[in-house]
Amino acid sequence: MSRSRADLYLDYLMSVRNLSEATVKAYRRDIGSFLDWIDAAGVSESSVDLEAVRGFVGHLSREKAATATINRAISALKGYFRFQMRQGFISASPFDGVRGMKRSGNLPNFLFEDEIKQVVAVEGDGFSRRRDRAIFEVLYSTGCRVGELVKMNTGDVDRSRGRILVHGKGRKDRIVFIGREARTALSDYLAMRLERLRVAGRLEEPAVFLNLQNIRLTQRGVASILERRMTETGIVKHTSPHTFRHSFATHVLDHGADIRVVQELLGHASLSTTQVYTHLGLGRLKEIYAQAHPHAAVRTRSEAGFGTTSREAAGFAAAGKSDVPDSGDAESTDGIRK
């Protein structure tokens, strides 16, 4: 019975809530792990209580599950038991009042503006070089997720208006914008893409970004392209395609964008998710304060001859680190990258 209830709930998430396939898959795994755990513990689903809930969370902790993973499991199970209450299967949820674990204070890793310039400046006129530059420019210009990038079709791109229709998480579409550099790089790439598909007799291919076999590029493919590019640039910093999203949000906020506008551009459902990117904005305030207050003046590394800009120094100070921030990609409490 419990498995059929779980299937009903997962079907509800897909058909009614319109959650993405990846999110539903994660929830299926979390609910399945819980049901397996209580079964092994000799606890029936109808008799699950707060003690059993705490036992399961403790089990995940002992298994060294990440905080985001544990919080996602709690979120999935809260929703699952609320669904059962609405359906009349149970009268009360054992997860009522259960709160997620406090998330780590780690800030999302990002590239500074001069580093972004190095990464996107891919030289060469071959297909792969034009494609790679277009990928990096679009990721940085739009702040879209890599999963959204690889799903882009040519019909989603409106170069004349400088915007792209992005198909986001939870099947929520939004409009993102491409700046001058991204528009130029994309136009150069699309011209060569069209010629390759014409020669291959595959003009019906809708995908914007293709691999060398002229089929849709995958997320792993984009990650490999970035790995090679980082080696070329010599920038030693942990990066992933998601780093461009972090960098986009950090930079536009640092240049004065309203946080709610950034929330819309990123496609975040909650403003609290976007607020993590205000760290460099605080760094900018610290920099201005240090320059303006007579008793707060500090020498930056550049002034001391070490070559770091005052903006970078402020960013380090805000992050509470003496070196470049190098934390993992930010994740939501449901464990899905933002």
Residues marked as catalytic: 145, 169, 242, 245, 268, 277
* Cα 248 from chain centroid (whole Å): 11
Distance CA 133, CA 145 (A): 17
Quick check: 150 and 223 in contact, CB under 8 A? Answer: no
Q: What are phi and psi of 207, to 5 degrees?
A: -60, 135
Listed in order, strand segments (DSSP E) in the chain are 157-158, 163-167, 173-177
Instruction: State which amino acid sits at residue 9.
Output: Y
CB atoms within 10 A of CB 21: 9
Place of tokens 């080696």: 231
Q: At 46, list the tokens.
A: 């109808």
Q: Count how many Cα atoms sit within 13 Å of the Cα of residue 115 in the half-sphere of its side chain.
A: 22
